Amino acid sequence: MFMITVRSSEAQLQNQVEEVGHLGLTGGNTNALSSKLNHAINRISQGKINVGVNQIEAFINQVNTLLNSGKLIQSEADDLIAAANAAIVSAETISSPSEAAMKT
């Protein structure tokens, strides 16, 4: 028997904040990325899903900027973006529970 654990978008984003802290970026870049994620966590927790998703998308844009400037490598950017997109899906699923119920 196995167990599937479904983490909330907020928990997924908190893990992202921790991951960002371990990337070895400058304090300014770490703070900028973490700040976007923390704002997203707060907005989603308040039920402001669209605002939270916008913050996650801003995070993804900044990750791409850091990749293009050579401050992140492709695998780091890919992991961060994949996790951010998963958090978006989780947040949007929670915002429309009737659709989530139909998918189960």
Query: Within a domain: residue 36?
Result: yes
Query: Within a domain: residue 22?
Result: no
**Distance (Å) of CA 61 to CA 16, 35, 40, 57, 103:** 15, 14, 14, 6, 30
Distance, CA of 34 to CA of 22 (rounded, Å): 11
Query: Within a domain: residue 21?
Result: no
Query: Domain range holding 48?
Result: 10-16+28-103
Query: Within a domain: residue 67?
Result: yes
State how many domains the chain has.
Answer: 1
pLDDT for residue 1? 73
pLDDT for residue 99? 38
Query: Within a domain: residue 51?
Result: yes
Query: Within a domain: residue 70?
Result: yes
Query: Within a domain: residue 59?
Result: yes
pLDDT for residue 7? 75
First-last CA distance in the chain: 19
Query: What's the pTM?
Result: 0.84
Distance, CA of 12 to CA of 44 (rounded, Å): 12
Query: Within a domain: residue 46?
Result: yes
pLDDT for residue 104? 36
pLDDT string in tens for the chain (104-residue length): 777 666 788 989 999 999 999 999 999 999 999 999 999 999 999 999 999 999 999 999 999 999 999 999 999 999 999 999 999 999 988 665 443 343 33
pLDDT for residue 4? 64
Distance, CA of 28 to CA of 42 (rounded, Å): 21
